[in-house]
Amino acid sequence: MKLAPLAALLLAALPALAHADPAAVDVDDLPSLPAATEDNTTQATMLAAAAAEEDVVVGADKREQSLGNVASAVTVVSGDRIRRFGYRTVAEALAAVAGVYTVDTRIVYGIGIRGLDIPGDFNTRILVLVDGASVNESWGSFAGLGFDSFVSIDDIARIELIRGPVSSVYGTNAFFSIVNIVTRSASETPHAWGRVAINSINGVIGTAGFAEGSVGRGIRGTVQAMDRIGETLSLANVGNGLEGDGANQVAVSLAGRYDGSFAQLRAFRNRRDSPFAPYNGDPAAPTPYSLYNTQLLAEVGHTEELSKRLSVTGRVYANLYEFQDHIVQDPTLVGAPPFDDFGDGRTYGVEVRGRYEVVAPQKLGLTIGGETNYNQTTSHSYTEDGTGHEAAGGTNIPVNFNIEGVYAEVDGQPLDEVGFTAGVRYDRNSAIDANVSPRAALFLQKPEKYGLKLLFAQGFRNPSAFEAFFTDDASFAKPVDLHAEKISSFEAVAWVKPTPGLSLRVSGFYWDATGIIEALAVTGGLLQFTNVGEYVSEGTEVEGSYRNSRGWYAFGGGAYARVGSTDVGQHGEVGYDNVPNAPALTGGAGVSTPKLFDVGHLSLEGRYIGERSVRPGITGQVLPESPGWFGVNANLYIPNLHGFDLTIGVRNLVGKRDLVVVPGDYDRFDKTGETVARIPRIPGEGRELFAKLGYSFH
């Protein structure tokens, strides 16, 4: 399956969709921007509301901007698209976005972008925001995008994917991209609602929430619980009939706004089991490996309009995180009791920023901000003594550090056809490196018709406390002298809106990332984090979307990314086509009908991930690569069934299982540290049926 025929098929279908049979569009099926009233329920207004939701971006510069004036290539996944296609997590909603591919290692649900997903990463190079607050924590820089997350999919108004480094505004972790999750306001949320879903793999998911108030003054809350059933699987060199694929999650959130003041409190706890026995787990055990994430995010802030030209925002935040894993070790390889790792990270911070319109309206603006936070981290590991308690000889590594950052950005539009952005940020980390991150962009456009963006940015990612300081002498050796990763990005973005409802974009990009940190095998079978070398991703990305007032919606896109590295590939080569988990081609497309028979929307989605290399084998061994994979999802969404809403869907309707490329976590070693078997890939999830039923009290 090639990407070009898939994109051509979608684009060829768009004119036909535009002339499809008319069908009414429910106000409830479209985003509530603006909120529907008796006076604005025409098809034109509803189409404009949908377009507004997809054309406004908040996360790129911490303020509202149109897509044409954002200094990045951006995709907005609307709430309408989330509901129609039956997405259950943020990762599923991003999986078919141009240039994106998902990587579920059964330890973490990760996101790759433009051919880059460094083996062993857990979204540390993607800055994840919830309503502008950073999810990435201070111990491991982890950010959950699956069920290991704060946010229920039912709570989301839209998701913004902002490609490329944005360290000039956000500092560390805004390396490959930003994922900004925008939740629904009180005015967009029913007074009370509840939904329950049954999934053949992910088990039972229950969600409930409430809201009271308006756009400017309101409060809302959500609670979600999930209990995964999992699958029974087999993996060469590990075993057959492997169980232990369960998971569970509980997440709660409370958010409010009163005029210019805002606050949010979010917490979750998630357990994820892996049946494939990582870190020399015992595959015969019911649960050879279990991982636990617990996190609390709190934020309070206020925005004040001091004049028509000057606004100031201040916020105080806390991000508290706890990691734990439990390994039932394989007695035939290690002959030791279970092993436990712990990681704690506590961040307390404050940020103040102001924006001044030097020449109004929006002809020349200046944004200045400063942020500081204090971080307490601790790593703790031990072997159990046979009774479940800690045996002597464990490790305990406390590391505290603070970060200060200051930034400034100027933006202007001296002519309707010409705009620009230029900014820089300085960050000081008391434990590792100081960094300077510039960004510049030039916009040439005919507003709302077509345009061209020329973009340049540099970013960084400091190693997390886990990477820079952690050791347990069982799976990880002590790192030595780690430094920040750096990335330079050059991109040209052309976009056009040839007809109402149709948007097209093409990008040419060049990313050069140096000092990349990877966990490499060292003496004794241990993994050690090391600044390895350089990764380059260069290529082209295309995407388009179409919707009309009859209720048709379609999207499609893909990327060709030529990824090279200074690492040595499994064939002994250095350069391109040797990078693990770096598909050259990725793509996705979907189409959703109007309400068929005035009942519900039927949606189909296809995703493609090209062939991927794996890590090198043992000396003289060549491991099989992961072949290209194509999957199809189908979904029926009924927004109003006698007051209820109903979603019925199937994931991986056609095609074989994806073979997911994994890092060295799954390799098997004996007690002397000699490699018993390399595990280069594991099976992805199979076909899954699900149904979700909800009810709302307005």
Q: What is the pLDDT of residues 510-544, one digit of tens each?
A: 999 999 998 887 877 788 889 988 899 999 999 99
More confident residue, 234 or 39: 234
Which are the contacts of 189, defined by CB distance < 8 A and separation ≥ 6? 155, 209, 210, 211, 220
* Rg of the chain taking only CA atoms, in angstroms: 24
Of 112, 177, 174, 72, nearest to 462 by C-alpha is 174
More confident residue, 88 or 549: 88
Distance, CA of 267 to CA of 227 (rounded, Å)? 17
Distance, CA of 664 to CA of 475 (rounded, Å)? 10
Sign of CA dihedral 88, 91, 97, 102: negative
Q: Where are the beta strands (DSSP E) in 276-363?
A: 289-305, 310-327, 339-359
Return the CATH number at 111: 2.40.170.20
Q: What is the pLDDT of residues 161-178, one digit of tens each?
A: 999 999 999 999 999 999
Query: Is the backbone peptide bond immediately before 639 cis, with ω within 30 degrees of 0?
Result: no
Q: For 37-98, what is the HEC assignment?
A: CCCCCCHHHHHHHHHHHHHEECCCCCCCEEHHHCCCCEEEEEHHHHHHCCCCCHHHHHCCCC
Q: Is it the case that residue 6 has pLDDT exceeding 50?
A: no
Q: Per the structure block, which two tokens stand in for 365?
A: 């603006």
Q: Per the structure block, which two tokens stand in for 50?
A: 């949908």
Query: What are the distances in angstroms from CA 493 to CA 68, 329, 397, 498, 557?
Result: 10, 51, 46, 16, 14
Q: What is the pLDDT of residues 175-212, one digit of tens each?
A: 999 999 999 999 889 999 999 999 999 999 999 999 99
Q: What is the total count of domains within the chain?
A: 1
Q: Per the structure block, which two tokens stand in for 315?
A: 């916020």
Contact yes or no for 311/354 (Cβ under 8 A)? yes
Distance, CA of 5 to CA of 275 (rounded, Å)? 37
Measure the CA angle with vertex 599, ends 596 and 604; round to 5°.
50
Q: What is the pLDDT of residues 552-598, one digit of tens each?
A: 999 999 999 999 887 655 545 556 667 889 999 999 999 999 999 99
Q: In this structure, what are the phi and psi dihedrals at residue 392, rounded to the nearest 5 degrees?
A: -70, 155
Given this model, what pLDDT does residue 419 score? 93
Residue 340 belongs to domain spanning: 3-697
Average pLDDT over residues 440-455: 93
Q: Per the structure block, which two tokens stand in for 531?
A: 């600044």
**Chain centroid, CA 346 distance in Å:** 22
State the maximum Cα–Cα separation within the chain, in Å, rounded to a whole number. Answer: 75
Of 209, 222, 211, 207, nearest to 188 by C-alpha is 211
Distance, CA of 574 to CA of 542 (rounded, Å)? 29
